[in-house]
Structure 1
């Protein structure tokens, strides 16, 4: 049986996973507790300042923008954060690496006493990567965020050099290489470009024709279909 603090955290996580109101009955079934317990725990969370809207019989929803404090992370969650942030410091560009270090410092500063040394003494390490092969990572990240067209000078696997205008939608960090997923204007289709084969990458400052979330959904659908 979960402790009360663990149950309250699990209830908050269940609400965070949903954008639409969820009934107490569904929450009770998911957490393996009674309806009365759910009603009581919702009341306790609201009293502690949780931004939960709704009422019995209609359902509950957590307001957008509400975040759990880092001190409520479990041990496995903290391990995941530490490892993930350390990987970013090794494989990201300078700005992203610095942001990861700052985030790790903020998390470490607010951990409870029994976990305050977790980051410093963690046995989860990330090996240094080579950033020489990904000099354009910062430019690509900014173009993705701004939904701007990119001008690439690219060498394909056969050694041919081409210039492309692409609509960047996602970056993939794989063991063998970092890859940009984008809509290629020349091919009129989605293409994948290895970052280590980019001679130049420059933003045009121009928005591309579709919203990135739509392109991303189309690309994911195409990738799923190709796996079938």
Structure 2
């Protein structure tokens, strides 16, 4: 790309347009997240009573008659205790579907929100100041001076604040997803960020050929 065309480079990345062969697969992540939300909400709301316990309480209440207490699983329970536990079991059973649904919605919102980058598009802009990223309507700008190195990959380029490869790289930078413009993006970044490796002093990257 000629230098006069490198003033501003804008593009957007939509994970839904990558297909199942793309690096991000929201088509697979979405049903898995929803299934996990269903399982999680069920484990939080399912009544924690032994199977058949309600029937045992009903039988004990029917057999009480005028007796002061009933024996249930080796325990002596008064009429008030049997009626109280029976009311708790029935309330838990009747409220379970609603609680399961509500907690399922909460779990789904939390899981989808935590992984929003898998589903929502993101807009990028490279200009003379730095890298501008807009996600969920919120823009952010990091100047070129912020970055010390970058690592090109097939589907993305990772910009980092560390000059040499480090295990902390994922936490000290961020990645820009390509959208059919890998060569243009790498060429632009190579004009502003010094590409370093672990074997010697850094050299300025002149494009994707030296960034492989």
TM bucket normalised to smaller: under 0.3
TM-score by length of 1: 0.19
Higher relative contact order (CA 8 A, sep 6+): 2
